[in-house]
Amino acid sequence: MRAAPVQALGDAGFEVLSVASMDAACDAVNTAPVGLALVHASSVGDWRRLRRRPGAPPVVVMEPGADVPRAVRAIRYGAVDFLAAPEDAAAVVTVSRRHAIPASGEGLVAVDQRTRGVLDLARRVASKPVTVLLNGESGTGKEVFARYLHDHSERAEGPFVAVNCAAIPENMLEALLFGYEKGAFTGAVRSHAGKFEQAAGGTLLLDEISEIDGALQAKLLRVLQEREVERLCGSRPIPVDARVVATTNRDLREAVASGAFREDLYYRLCVFPIQLPPLRERRDDVLPLAEELLQRLGNGSATLSPGARRRLLEHDWPGNVRELENVVQRALILADGEHVDAEDLQFEVAPLSADGAADADGSLDENLRDSEHRLILDTLRQTNGSRKTTADRLGISVRTLRYKIARMRDEGVSVPDSAGTAQVQAG
């Protein structure tokens, strides 16, 4: 590559590594994460060899003065873009910004090959106007990946609107999603646009979609089919111009089989499914994530001792990235100075004792929370995992129970979908 594009990439914040051969490029990919490969045109088999490497970056093929058929051929064989004017520094920067997989970002670290593979999938589907279903355990960063989809789509300049379907009472969720007209219910003193309307030109994230009830599932299905929404007490349909991304921490196929989730809605949502790996399966991300969190949550100068690094790598992370964030936050409080040692990493938080510290204001709340968790888990075991029967016995609504279960999972509590033993891993 000529000096001007290389200089422009450096000025744009990219770290550029120039190599003289495809063998050297493959070695570079094996050695460290590479966000994008800009390759000069050669035989298709040559650069496709790079694309087949585990954790390989997207490839942009550059060939001065090439015609359209050659560009089409490159795209067909796996290139993400084609540059017929590689000496154009501005074009090189634009293409790189569009396709490069970031090594890290706000809450997003992609060093492990599995994570980079997921980001590669997300980047490929981002530009396509299809519904995406992100499936992953609580705390795996589903909203972060949803934002990545949005930021790399043609709707990136539009709004990103997120709705936590598990956290909103059933009688409010419909009005929140679809909007309402004045007088639709007590307190509706003016008309209000719903989230589908608010996300016009952008992306609507339906977080924990598995937690919505059957009646609302039917209405959501109609919106996705007809691409229009009608406000509560409204008299006219409103076109929907929002890309929908849904997330779940449950296996929706099992929910369909049990009758808890509509099969037709599942297929509407699951146009392009992406499975997010748990943190225990992306070990190469643990330390980079911890270091990114140290910088973001601390004052920018905190470091991890070798013992702390070993302990982080030995942990199984049942609460995933959210648990790691909690552990890092506690370590920053407990650390003596700016050096985090192994003993500063507290994976399970025990109630404070009189010997260790004065009574804390939150200790009673923690004890009540733990008692509630045990009660819910015990009742779920007794009812073989039935949400409805459990809710009836506890005297709460099914939606409230689902919300509490979602919060428990966020805190690292393993809640079985059916009969089984749940382990509490706080953090």
More confident residue, 186 or 197: 197
Cβ atoms 179, 189 nearer than 8 A: no
Distances (CA, A) of 114 to 246, 251, 275, 288, 328: 21, 20, 10, 14, 23
What token pair was written down for 287?
């330390």
What token pair was written down for 156?
């990136």
Which class for 124: exposed (0-12), middle (13-18), buried (19 or more C-beta within 10 A)? middle
The residue to which tokens 């099969």 are assigned: 263
Reference 292, options 337, 336, 335, 325; nearest CA is: 325
So what's the pLDDT on residue 53? Answer: 66
What domains, with CATH codes, occur in the chain? 3-100 (3.40.50.2300), 125-275 (3.40.50.300), 279-344 (1.10.8.60)
Condensed to tens digits (0 to 9), the pLDDT of residues 261-279 reads 999 999 999 999 999 999 9
User: pLDDT averaged over the chain?
Assistant: 82
Condensed to tens digits (0 to 9), the pLDDT of residues 129-177 reads 899 999 999 889 999 999 999 988 889 899 999 999 988 887 789 889 9
Cβ atoms 280, 240 nearer than 8 A: no
pTM above 0.85, yes or no: no
Residue 86: Cβ within 10 Å count = 21
Compute the average pLDDT of residues 274-287. 94
Report the alpha-carbon distance of residue 25 to residue 36 in Å, rounded. Answer: 11
So what's the pLDDT on residue 400? Answer: 79
Question: Is residue 14 over pLDDT 70?
Answer: yes
Condensed to tens digits (0 to 9), the pLDDT of residues 84-137 reads 877 788 888 888 877 776 654 445 788 888 888 898 888 889 989 899 999 999
Range 124-129, long-range pairs (CB < 8 A, 24+ positions): 124/80, 125/149, 125/272, 125/274, 126/150, 126/152, 126/153, 127/152, 127/153, 127/154, 128/272, 129/243
Condensed to tens digits (0 to 9), the pLDDT of residues 214-253 reads 999 999 999 999 999 998 888 899 999 999 999 999 999 9
CA 352, distance to chain mean position in Å, is 34
Question: Is residue 350 over pLDDT 60?
Answer: no
What token pair was written down for 302?
């905190």
So what's the pLDDT on residue 60? Answer: 86
So what's the pLDDT on residue 209? Answer: 95
Q: Report strand pairing: 192-193 vs 339-340.
A: unpaired
pLDDT band at 25 (very low <50, low <70, confident <90, very high): confident
Condensed to tens digits (0 to 9), the pLDDT of residues 300-326 reads 778 889 999 999 999 999 999 989 998
